[in-house]
Chains A and B, each alone.
Chain A
Amino acid sequence: MHISEGILTTPVWLAGYAGTAVLAAVTMRKLDMEEVPKISVITSVFFIASLIKVPLGPASIHLILNGLVGVVLGWRAFAAIMLGIILQAIIFGHGGITVIGINSLMLGGGALIAYMVWQLRHRFSFKNREFVFGALAGAIGTISSGIVLATALITTGEAFNVIAATVLAAHVPIMLIEAAVVGASAAFLHKAKPDILAGRRQPGSVQGEN
């Protein structure tokens, strides 16, 4: 999911770059050398997992998985998604050079919101907690991106209102699929390799359960 080149007006894509610069600067502060390979791995997996086609009735859709990036990388998710967008623009001409900013803001912003949702799991304690909050993170990550996309189209001109509404409506089935896949992934990772997940709290640490 991305905005293609040539659609948005100059103020809108410039605003996209401005927003991305701010979020990138904030979320990449104090980046440790050891984090560089980890972020790159998640970016690659995010990049190729978006090639997976999921059947949806007679059609099929591609996974987005920005929610999962948030669940795995936390605040660093923004950098990973931005890199993925840059590579897509360079390799596929998917998206495009001038829309790198707005596309990063759209998917990366969604990933950050997904991480905030994911963190709320610490406030609850029940059996399938990781699945439920993973699914919520996946769903909310996707729909937040859809809202940013629709907003960018609407601010570009009245002529795009119908397209914006169509795009937003199309996000509802995508959101459900993302919820199921990200939920299952989060629950699986929690069982198989919990330290890969973001925002874990060590048992008995000062923060503890609250």
Chain B
Amino acid sequence: MALDIDRYHEVDSIINRWDPRAKIAALGIFIFSIALMKTIPMAVIAIVMAAILIRLTALPWHFIFHGLSFVMIFLVPFFVIMPLSYPGESAFTVLGLGFAWEGLRLATLIFIKAVSIVLVTYAIFGSSRFDISMLALQHLKCPKVVVQMLLFTYRYTFVFLEEMRRMHTSMQARGFVARTNMQTMTIFGHFVGTLLIRSFERTDRVFKAMLSKGYQGDLHSMVTFKSHGIDYAKATAAIILSLMMVAGDFSGVWSQAVQGWY
């Protein structure tokens, strides 16, 4: 399970060098513009732009495909369900179910948009260290307490994942096999409970250590942000492209999805 999204942040690329604040703001606007798309031609333009963007980050393909696989598993069934369950007239019947082209079109639109947004998300957060991205969020007026909790959570996640693996190994060593019965559920319940207690007590110790070192609710960082002309230029380009995409979509040149998208 790839949890460290920032594993390749050290690669040098035009996106990695971008000031994280400008990057998050501009590409965030890009993401929300993609979410507004309701015509397939514009969605295709969006996915092409997202693909170019992810190429610019120089993230390895296997890393990107691994990320996309989660979305794929969820979205591929739509190609079967949507055409067969779309209300209204159907073109022909498959196994007694009406097949509607409009349903297939809607499924395609959903698929393209979802993949584009995931690609842009990877471009944003795969190209900077996680803590720097979070500090950038704080500079963008995201509440301090939320940023801090995100940083703590991200850090703890790796520690507790190790803890969970150790516990799981020891369960297996004692002959545990998961089945669909009450006993397995009870064991899982106790497993989660134990994980909670262990994690909780560990954090309690960490928190006391932090207090004794003078923690008063602020995290101090050595990171400073600097924006140059080129950062603004990149941001302006991304925002102009987003606006052009939205304008093209609303212009009425292309036929829009009839339902489920307005």
A-side interface residues toward B, CB under 8 Å? 4-7, 9-10, 13, 28, 31, 33-34, 36-45, 47-49, 51-57, 63, 65, 68, 72, 79, 83-84, 86-87, 89-94, 96-98, 156-163, 166, 177, 180-189, 192-193, 196
Contacts and interface: CB of A to CB of B under 8 A. Distances in A.
Looking at B149, B184, B197, B259, the one whose CB has the most chain A CB atoms below 10 A away is B149
A37 B121 contact: no
A91 B3 contact: yes
B149 A83 contact: yes
Interface of B: 1, 3, 5, 28, 31-32, 35-36, 67-68, 70-71, 74-75, 78, 81-82, 85-87, 102-103, 106, 109-114, 117-118, 121-122, 125, 145-146, 148-150, 152-154, 156-157, 159-161, 164, 178-180, 182, 184-197, 199-200, 203-204, 206-207, 216-217, 259-262
Nearest to B35: A98
A44 B153 contact: yes
B117 A6 contact: yes
B175 to A, nearest CB: 16
3 closest A-B pairs by beta carbon, nearest first, are: A184-B189, A157-B260, A162-B85
27 contacts: A6-B109, A6-B111, A6-B117, A10-B262, A28-B145, A36-B145, A37-B203, A38-B200, A38-B203, A40-B152, A41-B152, A44-B199, A45-B195, A47-B157, A49-B192, A55-B184, A63-B188, A91-B125, A93-B70, A96-B114, A96-B118, A157-B261, A161-B85, A184-B186, A184-B188, A184-B193, A185-B190
Looking at A83, A89, A97, the one whose CB has the most chain B CB atoms below 10 A away is A97
A69 B252 CA distance: 47
A54 B185 contact: yes
B209 to A, nearest CB: 11
A181 B180 contact: no
Describe A's contact surface by its main secondary structure.
helix
A159 B185 contact: no
Contacts of A53: 178
A83 B150 contact: yes
Contact of A159 (B103, B122, B197, B199): B103
Given A48-B164, A87-B157, A192-B197, 17 more contacts: A4-B74, A6-B109, A6-B111, A33-B217, A37-B206, A41-B196, A48-B157, A49-B164, A49-B192, A57-B180, A87-B153, A93-B121, A93-B122, A163-B81, A180-B186, A181-B185, A185-B196
